């Protein structure tokens, strides 16, 4: 950070608290609006999908139904994949979002399984999961992504929510783009920090830093997804083929 980077105005605590109290009312309204949207989401209809859609996992050929691991709900992250490319050339955004889901026990306690359905071949892509030190269930959806993502652009990342009724599977909701930020704690904390995400689209005061929009922003550092550097430091190879 440049020492000449502008900072907020300095005021006494009473003035600061008054401004914060006014902002807190807007934050509460935002929370209530989010609750209302979540309530509407729970009332959406759903569409049946092929429970037998093929996936490839550690034990070979399985189905979408198997990916539920016996639970009632499944959240699937459809990860983008660049076949035949080393770790440094895999999607920095998918690495950023997917890599933040480490502790899954609370989802399991709610009857929800989380799994990555990679849109590339299993043997190659699971090496990336292991390279990154991730532990979530991992499957290749290479042979079924176009069917499961009907009406959407296969090859892009998507977060899809499923409900199981016996041997039948239904899709209840999906999102992509900024909707995937539901998985992300880093941006949530940045949004509460004084300089935010430091991206050009943000409404920030004149002179605020914009490093978040340079060379891949915080997704990417020195030519590769940021989270990979600690794995290289630990001695892991990023050759996946």
Enumerate domains of the chain plus CATH numbers. 56-241 (3.40.30.10)
- Residue 60, sorted as left (phi over 0), alpha (psi -120 to 50) or beta, turns out to be left
* pLDDT > 70? residue 1: no
**DSSP reduced 3-state for 233:** helix
The chain-wide mean pLDDT, for the chain, equals: 95
pLDDT band (50, 70, 90) for residue 238: confident
Half-sphere exposure for 166 (CA within 13 Å, toward CB): 2
pTM of the model: 0.93
- How far CA 203 is from CA of 69, 82, 226, 236, in Å, comes to 44, 34, 25, 40
Give the rounded distance of the alpha carbon of 94 from its chain centre: 6
List beta partners, residue 113.
74
Six-digit token string for 143: 């042979």
pLDDT at 90: 94
Mean pLDDT of 39-65: 98
Q: What is the pLDDT of residues 161-195, one digit of tens each?
A: 999 999 999 999 999 999 999 999 999 999 999 99
pLDDT at 237: 81
pLDDT at 216: 84
pLDDT at 225: 92
Q: What is the pLDDT of residues 14-35, one digit of tens each?
A: 999 999 999 999 999 999 999 9
* pLDDT > 90? residue 239: no
Q: Where are the beta strands (DSSP E) in 58-109?
A: 60-63, 73-79
């Amino acid at each position: 950070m440049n020492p000449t980077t502008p900072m907020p105005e300095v005021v006494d605590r009473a003035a600061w608290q008054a401004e914060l109290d006014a902002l807190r009312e807007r934050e509460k309204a935002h929370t209530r609006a989010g609750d209302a949207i979540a309530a509407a989401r729970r009332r959406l209809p759903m569409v049946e999908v092929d429970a037998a859609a093929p996936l490839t996992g550690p034990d070979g050929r399985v189905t979408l139904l198997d990916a539920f691991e016996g639970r009632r709900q499944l959240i699937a992250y459809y990860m983008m994949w660049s076949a035949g490319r080393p770790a440094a050339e895999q999607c920095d955004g998918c690495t950023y979002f997917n890599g933040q889901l480490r502790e899954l026990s609370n989802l399991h306690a709610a009857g929800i399984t989380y799994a990555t359905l990679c849109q590339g071949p299993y043997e190659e892509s699971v090496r990336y999961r292991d390279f990154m030190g991730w532990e979530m269930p991992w499957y290749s959806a290479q042979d079924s992504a176009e069917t499961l993502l009907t009406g959407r652009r296969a090859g892009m990342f998507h977060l899809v929510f499923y409900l199981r009724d016996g041997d039948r599977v239904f899709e209840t909701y999906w999102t992509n783009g900024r909707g995937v930020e539901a998985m992300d704690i880093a941006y949530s904390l940045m949004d509460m920090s004084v300089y935010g995400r430091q991206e050009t689209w943000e409404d920030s005061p004149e002179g605020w830093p914009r490093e978040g929009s340079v060379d891949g922003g915080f997704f990417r550092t020195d030519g590769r997804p940021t989270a990979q550097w600690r794995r290289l430091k630990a001695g892991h190879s990023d050759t996946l083929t």
